[in-house]
Structure 1
Amino acid sequence: MIALNFHGQTAVISGGLEGIGKAIADLLHLGGANVVVGDIGVRARQQGDRSLLVHTDVACRADAEALIADAVSTFGAVDILVNNCGVSAMSPLEAMSDSDWQRILDVNLKGTAYLSQAAIRVMRPRQAGRIINIASQAGKNGYRLMGQYVASKHAVLGLTKVMAIELAGDNILVNAVCPGIVETAMKWRERVEGALLRGLTAGEIYTEDCSQVPLGRTAQPGDVANVVAFLASPLSSYMTGQAINVTGGMTMH
């Protein structure tokens, strides 16, 4: 399958230990790529068969630059960067804290920029590369109790468009994926916290979530990974600056 032929390429995925990031890392590795995962949950550097795990705090520019440098020193290049790492917080507008604002913008927005800047310096001399930002349908819509997260993901989409324009001449394609409701540990935590704020149960919010999706189910991480693999493959060679929904029809713009 051409969409899974990543032999000889190196992919860096931030936040790749679990959830969407792990599904992406596993799928690209299955397709033959060398996979480098940078995650704050990695305790010690681990190298395996075409794989590398590195402790990385994407909100720290030095960590982001070190991750890209480690990928290059281990595998020789960075062909694909997937900015997947993200955090959220549940809060009504009037109660949003400065600490949550700082953390969410540092990880979701500045972390994406830091890793991209480091990867671009490697990709530009080779006149080739793919940068795929994991945004959210929250980058296109508003959702109660998620003001900071929504703002950060709107910003990620704006950054994606600017990067696509500035890097087009270098044959570096930059696109975003906008997942809908995906069954991850972060989503369940959001349901638990949201339930407390709304006087509901997490199970009731899950039922509510499913009722909003035309396809009748929420997403699994693999649903998102499939679209990332497409964007990383030659099949998307005439696409840049796009924000692709993976929402089961919940968001259609």
Structure 2
Amino acid sequence: MIAIDLSNRLAVVTGGRSGIGKGVVEQLLKAGATVISADITIEQEYEPAGARLIETRLDLSRSADVERWVSVVTAEAGVPDIVVNCAGTSTMDYVIDSSLADWEKVFSINTTGLYLTSKLFAKAMVEAQKPGRIIQIASQAGKNGYRAMGAYCASKHAVLGLTKVMAIELAKHGILVNAVCPGIVETPMKHRERIEGGAIRGMTAQEIYEEDCSQVPLGRTAQVEDVAGVVLFLTSQLASYMTGQAINVTGGMTMH
């Protein structure tokens, strides 16, 4: 077995306090990386939380905050080798009943915030002549449509488009840009979606869960570790000839 060793690598993870982001942080730490975990739930601005873990507050919905945060990170820790954009949000409603405010909220985090984070760190990598990895946590919702998730699906489609363009533009600098497209993952956001989606569709959260499982060929929904392992692979030398990809981690639910 080839061990993945990220010693002497600096990784930045948005949305690192819960869900997939938390799982990614844990995997990167196990592989030896120094990790900066950014999340809106973190109170401090920039503070070591452990030997190789630094936690910092970030509100991705505020462009000025993203710009300030990237500036602080690069000044305090240097240009990262790895950037993983995990932070995301969703709203539940049929498109004809949805609000512009909800649309803008989802796009401000899932798309605009991700775009700024990717752009600014990529620019820092280019200026420092430092090859790196940028990994976007997209979704199978970036390839398909799902009822009551118009804003979320549209935002994730945009992420995949951005991934492909950045992969082309940054290839000459040795910066690899890929996306991971999880399927149904057991996270706090998914649990909330089952309650809200069930209310819209006249179903219980348990019924939604059973429906979810029935749609997956492997017969179960994903745990965060299933996704984090693929992210870890993309950070490693094992993925040194991959860029511009949108990798499904869906248990066979999405195959394109």
TM-score (norm 1): 0.97
Tell me the equivalent position of 2:135.
132
Tell me the equivalent position of 2:95.
93
Tell me the equivalent position of 1:84.
86
1:107 is aligned to 2:109: yes
Distance in 1 between residues matched to 2:130 and 2:47, nearest whole Å: 30
Amino acid corresponding to residue 5 of structure 2 in structure 1: N
Amino acid corresponding to residue 82 of structure 2 in structure 1: I
SS in 2 for 1:218: coil
Amino acid corresponding to residue 207 of structure 1 in structure 2: E
TM-score (norm 2): 0.96
Tell me the equivalent position of 2:180.
177
Tell me the equivalent position of 2:251.
248
Instruction: State the Cα deviation string for residues 126-158 of structure 1 (Å, max 9, x = none).
Output: 240100000000000000010110000000000
SS in 2 for 1:16: coil
- Following TM superposition, where does structure 1 have runs of at least 4 consecutive aligned residues deviating by more than 6 angstroms? none
Tell me the equivalent position of 2:156.
153
- The farther-off stretch of 74-83 and 217-226 is 74-83
Instruction: State the Cα deviation string for residues 215-243 of structure 1 (Å, max 9, x = none).
Output: 01000001000000000111100000000
SS in 2 for 1:82: strand
Tell me the equivalent position of 1:237.
240
State the 1:58 CA deviation: 1.4
Amino acid corresponding to residue 121 of structure 1 in structure 2: K
Tell me the equivalent position of 2:224.
221
Amino acid corresponding to residue 25 of structure 1 in structure 2: V
Instruction: State the Cα deviation string for residues 23-60 of structure 1 (Å, max 9, x = none).
Output: 00111011111100111110114312111111101122
Distance in 2 between residues matched to 1:59 and 1:130, nearest whole Å: 23
Instruction: State the Cα deviation string for residues 191-222 of structure 1 (Å, max 9, x = none).
Output: 00011111110001000000000001000001
Amino acid corresponding to residue 47 of structure 2 in structure 1: Q
State the 1:3 CA deviation: 5.2
Contact kept in structure 2, 1:219 and 1:248, CA below 8 Å = yes
1:15 is aligned to 2:18: no
- The farther-off stretch of 34-43 and 45-54 is 45-54
Contact kept in structure 2, 1:165 and 1:241, CA below 8 Å = yes
- The farther-off stretch of 100-109 and 73-82 is 73-82
Q: How many pairs does the alignment contain?
A: 253
